[in-house]
Amino acid sequence: MKRLPADWLTSKWVDFEYKQYQLLAYLQQVEKAFDGNQLYPPLEDLKQHHGQLQNLIEAQKLIQQGFSADLTGIDLQKQELNFHISEQETTTLKEFNQITEYALPKLQHALDNGNERLAEVKNDLQMEPIGLQPLYLREGYLLLQPGNHSDVHIYRYRVRPVELKGEPFHNLQTWFLRSEVRSLSKSLRQIKLDLIKQFKNLPNPATWFFQHKQDLPLTQTLLPVSRHFLWKKVIEG
């Protein structure tokens, strides 16, 4: 899926029809991805674009002051500086405002749609521990089984503290190890025992199993949503 550039509103030229076409083409791709149950990365992209647009709208006065203008007077009663903005600059600002007023509800609608689909996925996602869980949960294994498939995808995970924009944060990293066919002889407990034998530095690992009744895309939906569930479990308890 082709993403919408972060600077799509201000790049090239500020023209309502061009920006409208650019936005609608992007939202059409997002809708197609959602129809295929592919929630990521489209949902994260929508959140970023929606947030950026809201910030731009709230900063419209600052944007207007950024245009070259001549100081024509000072209103002491209103405590305002009066500027003269050229006709060309006024037209550009109006065009920009028209674009933002059009784009915000479109992005909001798509974001609401994505969040509704995400809520549906979360409601039907089953999470359970495999075997006895240790006190230390910040490192272990994540097992995924999409739909009615017999394949179980095995990931190793680790939660580490990081700093994001000067704020402390906990990041959950995952590494794909392999896939196993679940059967009577290869149960989830047996898979965990095999992992313990293979990776001896985790003698009693936290092991979590996720399954969804639908055959969801693994990397675009099931894994990101499962990672979020696991992150909340490890960090928030």
Predicted confidence band of residue 76 (pLDDT cuts 50, 70, 90): very low
Residue 190 pLDDT > 60: yes
16 Cβ contact list (under 8 Å, min separation 6): 95, 98, 99, 102
Compute the average pLDDT of residues 181-191: 94
Top mean pLDDT of 15-19, 65-69, 90-94, 116-120 is at: 116-120
Contact status, residue 172 vs residue 158, Cβ threshold 8 Å? yes
Confidence of residue 13 (pLDDT cuts 50, 70, 90): confident
Predicted local distance difference test score (pLDDT) of residue 131: 94
Q: DSSP 3-state assignment of 157?
A: strand
Bridge-based pairing state of the strands 139-146 and 206-212 = parallel
Residue 173 confidence (pLDDT): 95
pTM check: above 0.85: no
Alpha carbons 208 and 206: distance in angstroms, whole number: 7
Q: How far apart are CA 46 and CA 118, in angstroms?
A: 13
Report whether pLDDT(81) > 90: no
Q: Above 70 in pLDDT, residue 202?
A: yes
How many residues can be counted in the chain? 237
pLDDT, residue 74, reads 42
pLDDT of residue 9 exceeding 60, the answer is yes
Confidence band of 148 (pLDDT split at 50, 70, 90) = confident
pLDDT of residue 138: 94
Q: Is the peptide bond before 41 cis (omega within 30 degrees of 0)?
A: yes
Least confident of 62-71, 180-189, 212-221: 62-71
Q: Residue 71 — pLDDT band, cuts 50, 70, 90?
A: very low
Share of the chain above pLDDT 90, in %: 62
Residues near 217 by beta carbon (within 8 Å), at least 6 away in sequence: 36, 37, 38
Q: What is the mean pLDDT of the chain?
A: 86
**pLDDT exceeds 80 at position 70:** no
pLDDT of residue 232: 92
pLDDT > 70 in the chain, percent:
83
Please, are residues 69 and 31 in contact by the beta-carbon 8 Å criterion? no
Residue 159's pLDDT is 94
Rounded to 5 degrees, what are φ and ψ at 208? -125, 140
